Amino acid sequence: MNRGIVIQLPDQLKLLIRWMKSRDVPYIIDMERAIFPSPWSAESFLYRLYERSYNISLIGVIGKELVSYAVSYVVHDELHFGNLAVDQKHRSINIGEALLLTSLQIGKESNCRVVHLEVRENNQPAIRLYQKHGFEIVGVRENYYTDEKEDALLMSRIIN
């Protein structure tokens, strides 16, 4: 993983998945603001890069274009999957799946036993993606997204 891994996508596209670097953060922030109603700040991403020992921050690149990112972190034997996004014009060609599965593999290699995440209750594309890969809904966090007063579904999966 040190130099990244290349995944073959449909239509001869090649996706490079590699560790996030601080110079990627401005591009990530542009995507984050375009996608999420309550976007993470640049500092949130940078903090996770400094704390590299227990954070798994990945990006997906096609050519020179950043098209996706995923951030998760390890707490003891648990992986918490905190953020995943794919650029609007590159969706539905398996990129989200590729970053999710790569994060889970790294978590597994870091001796994580279980992975948890929160997802907006109305976010069907993401819920379907997680269910496809074995996550189950194990709880609801009421008003988790305070700005929009939206509940989160808590989803979990055993990985090891």
- Interface positions with ligand COA (CB under 6 A): 35, 84-86, 91-97, 119, 123-126, 128-129, 132
Considering the complex, state which of residue 53 and residue 92 has its C-beta at the smaller distance from ligand COA.
92
Q: What are phi and psi of 52, to 5 degrees?
A: -65, -25
Neighbours of 10 (CB within 10 A): 8
Which is the catalytic residue, given 50, 69, 118, 121? 118
Specify whether 65 is catalytic: no
Considering the complex, state which of residue 14 and residue 111 has its C-beta at the smaller distance from ligand COA.
14
Cα 118 from Cα 10, distance rounded (Å)? 29
What is the smallest separation between the CB atom of 91 and ligand COA, expressed in angstroms? 3
What is the smallest separation between the CB atom of 152 and ligand COA, expressed in angstroms? 9
Which is the catalytic residue, given 47, 50, 78, 130? 130
Specify whether 130 is catalytic: yes
Considering the complex, state which of residue 113 and residue 132 has its C-beta at the smaller distance from ligand COA.
132
Considering the complex, state which of residue 111 and residue 138 has its C-beta at the smaller distance from ligand COA.
138
DSSP characters for 86-145? E-GGGTTSSHHHHHHHHHHHHHHHTT--EEEEEEETT-HHHHHHHHHTT-EEEEEEEEEE
What is the smallest separation between the CB atom of 129 and ligand COA, expressed in angstroms? 3
DSSP characters for 16-63? EEEE--GGGHHHHHHHHHHH-SSPPPHHHHHHHHHTTTTEEEEEEEET
What is the smallest separation between the CB atom of 119 and ligand COA, expressed in angstroms? 4
Catalytic residues: 118, 130
